[in-house]
Structure 1
C-alpha cells in the first residue's frame, strides 16, 4: 500500500512513484471529503423522495408530487453549492475571487444555459405553469410532463385545421396526443408568450360552425345547435362557483352569461354561417365535438335542412347547334362558324 500511495516531503502525492501535479495532501483530503459529502447529499435526496412517495401513496396528487420533487431538487442544489464552497474555500477572500471568475466565465460561455436557469426560476416564482398543465410554449402544444432546471418536457398534441400551417407540421388534426415528447428550453418564456389552458380555469370556450342556405329554416337550425351544445357542454352546476368568482375578481373578464351556449350568425356570399359557442373541459374536446356533429347532422336530416356548399349559376349562355352530315361531325371551323352565326 505504501508503494502505491505515498506523500512526498512537500506534501505532494505520488502513485507508483509518479508525482500527481496539482494534488497534495491538503486538496486531496478536501477532494475525498467532497466526494463523501456529495454521496451523502444524494442519499438524503433519495430518502426524501421515497418518504414523499410513501406519504402520498394513499391519495395520488400529481401536482403535489411535482412541487415536492422541485423543492427537494432545489434544496439539494443549494446544499451542494454551500457544502462544496465551505470545503474548498475556507478563506472568504478566495471565495469572492473564485465566484467572480466563475460568474464571468458562465456569463460568457454559457449564456443560453444561464438564461434557461433564469427561466426556470421565473416559471416557479411566477407560477407560469405546472406539471399536468396544457400549454403552448416555443410553438409546441401539449401537456407538461416534466420541468427541469434547463428545459421543460411536453407531451405533444396535434393542431386544429386552422393552425395546421404552423411549424412543425402535424399529422393529427385535433388536440390529441401525437406520442412525441418534446423538450423546450426554459429560456423560451423570455422570447415568446406562453399559453396556458388550465392555469386558473379547467375549462375553455369552443365553437362549431355550420353553413346553411339562406332559404333553409335557420330558426330550426339554431335550435339544433343549441340543443346539441346544451347536452354536451360542461355542466354549469358542476363548475366551482368559488373558482368562477375568483376568476372574475382577478381578471374582470368572465361574464356569467358566457357559460350558456349561444349561436352567432355571419352572412357570406354563399350561405349563412351559424356558430355555436359553448364551454367544455380542456381535455377531450375532439370527442365532444364529434358527438355534437353526429347529432346535429341527424337532426338536420330529420328536419330537411341541408349543409350549404358553394354553388354557381350560369347566365347568358348562347345557344349552340351541332350538325351531323352523312360522313360524320362537321369540321371544327364549320361548327364554330355555325355557333357564331347562331349567336349573332
Structure 2
C-alpha cells in the first residue's frame, strides 16, 4: 500500500496515469460516437465518412495530449504549442478553409446559383447543388456534341471561385449570340440567298429578339458595355470554293442546339423552293483513272 502511495505521489507517475485515463476516455468516446452515427445515419457513404472523421479527430487528440504531456513545462510552452498547432492545421486544411470561404462568397456575392449554366475550371454544366464545400454540376459536352448533358455528375471545390474565371450563361442575360454558316455557289442569286436566310431567321427568332430586348437594356444600364444589335445580321465571306453567308442571331441559352436545327431546316426548305436560283455548295472531288500500262518482259536465253 505504501509503495502504491509513493508511486502515485511521484509527479511523473501521476502525469502518466492522468494521460492514460484521458486516452481511455477518448477511445471509449470514439467507440460511442461510431455506434451513435451508425444508428442515426442511414446513408452508407455519409456514415462511413462521418465515422472516419470521428476516428481521425480522436487519434489526433491522443497525439496532441501525448505531445503536450511530455513537452510542455510552462505557459510559454503552451503558447508555442498552440501556435504551431494552429499553423499546422491552417496549412493542412487550407483547401477546406478556402472552399468554405468560397461558399460564403458564392451565396453573398451571387456568383452563381442553382439552375445557372456555368463553366468553371474548364468544366461546363448546370448547377444542381451548392453546399459548404462543393458545387455540383450536371455536366455538358465532353464526348457529346453541342450543349447536351453527358450524364456525369461533377463536384467542383468552391475554392475555384478564387482561382480562375467563371463563365455564367444565365446570370443577368439568359441569351446567347450564335452563328450559322450557309455556303452557296457562285452561280447562285446572292441577294436572294441573303434575303431568304435573313427573313427565315427574323421570323423564327422574333420571340427571342423581343424577350431579350428588355434584359439587354438592363445590362447596358447596369454595366459599362456598348449597345449591341439583337436582330439577326448577315455577313459574307468569299472563299475559293463558295460564298459563305454568316448568320449571327440571338437565342435562349438552353435552346441553342434546337434553334440551330430549326434554322437549318427552314433555310434548306426555302433554298429548295427557290427553283435553282440559290444552290447550296459542297466540296467536289474529281477522281482520275490511271491509264493502263502494258509491261512486257523479255527473257534472255
For normalisation by structure 1, the TM-score amounts to 0.58
Q: CA deviation at 1:321?
A: 7.9
Which residue of structure 1 aligns with residue 295 of structure 2? Answer: 331
Which residue of structure 2 aligns with residue 12 of structure 1? Answer: none
Which residue of structure 1 aligns with residue 122 of structure 2? Answer: 139
In structure 1, which of residues 202, 206, 220 is the aligned counterpart of residue 178 of structure 2? 206
Q: CA deviation at 1:212?
A: 1.3
Q: 1:231 to 1:98 in 2, by over 3 A?
A: farther
Q: CA deviation at 1:177?
A: 1.4
Contact 1:200 1:247 in 2 (8 A): yes
Which residue of structure 2 aligns with residue 310 of structure 1? Answer: 283
In structure 1, which of residues 186, 191, 205 is the aligned counterpart of residue 158 of structure 2? 186
Q: CA deviation at 1:148?
A: 1.5
Q: 1:20 to 1:140 in 2, by over 3 A?
A: same
Which residue of structure 2 aligns with residue 236 of structure 1? Answer: 209
In 2, the alpha carbon distance for the partners of 1:109 and 1:174 equals 40
In 2, the alpha carbon distance for the partners of 1:236 and 1:286 equals 17
The alignment partner of 1:22 has SS state of helix
- 1:22 and 2:18 are equivalent in the alignment: no
After superposition, give the CA deviation of every residue in 1:216-240 in whole Å (9 maximum; x if it has no partner).
1111211222122223324433346
Which residue of structure 2 aligns with residue 220 of structure 1? Answer: 192
The alignment partner of 2:139 has SS state of strand
Q: 1:321 to 1:232 in 2, by over 3 A?
A: closer
Matches within 5 A, 1:30-179: 103-158=86-141, 170-179=142-151
In 2, the alpha carbon distance for the partners of 1:247 and 1:199 equals 11
Q: 1:100 to 1:219 in 2, by over 3 A?
A: farther
In structure 2, which of residues 264, 272, 275 is the aligned counterpart of residue 293 of structure 1? 264
Q: Which runs of 5+ in 1 are unaligned?
A: 1-18, 36-95, 159-169, 323-328, 334-344
Q: CA deviation at 1:104?
A: 1.7
In 1, the alpha carbon distance for the partners of 2:82 and 2:110 equals 30
In 2, the alpha carbon distance for the partners of 1:229 and 1:157 equals 26
Q: Which runs of 5+ in 2 are unaligned?
A: 1-18, 34-78
Q: 1:215 to 1:113 in 2, by over 3 A?
A: same
In 2, the alpha carbon distance for the partners of 1:289 and 1:186 equals 34
In 1, the alpha carbon distance for the partners of 2:161 and 2:269 equals 46
In 1, the alpha carbon distance for the partners of 2:296 and 2:269 equals 51
In 2, the alpha carbon distance for the partners of 1:223 and 1:103 equals 71
In 1, the alpha carbon distance for the partners of 2:245 and 2:121 equals 34
In 2, the alpha carbon distance for the partners of 1:111 and 1:282 equals 36
- 1:263 and 2:234 are equivalent in the alignment: yes
Q: CA deviation at 1:313?
A: 7.6
Which residue of structure 2 aligns with residue 196 of structure 1? Answer: 168
Contact 1:106 1:114 in 2 (8 A): no
Q: CA deviation at 1:101?
A: 5.7
Runs of 4+ residues over 6 Å off in structure 1: 96-99
In 2, the alpha carbon distance for the partners of 1:332 and 1:278 equals 66
In 1, the alpha carbon distance for the partners of 2:85 and 2:202 equals 62
For normalisation by structure 2, the TM-score amounts to 0.65
Q: CA deviation at 1:110?
A: 1.6
Q: CA deviation at 1:24?
A: 11
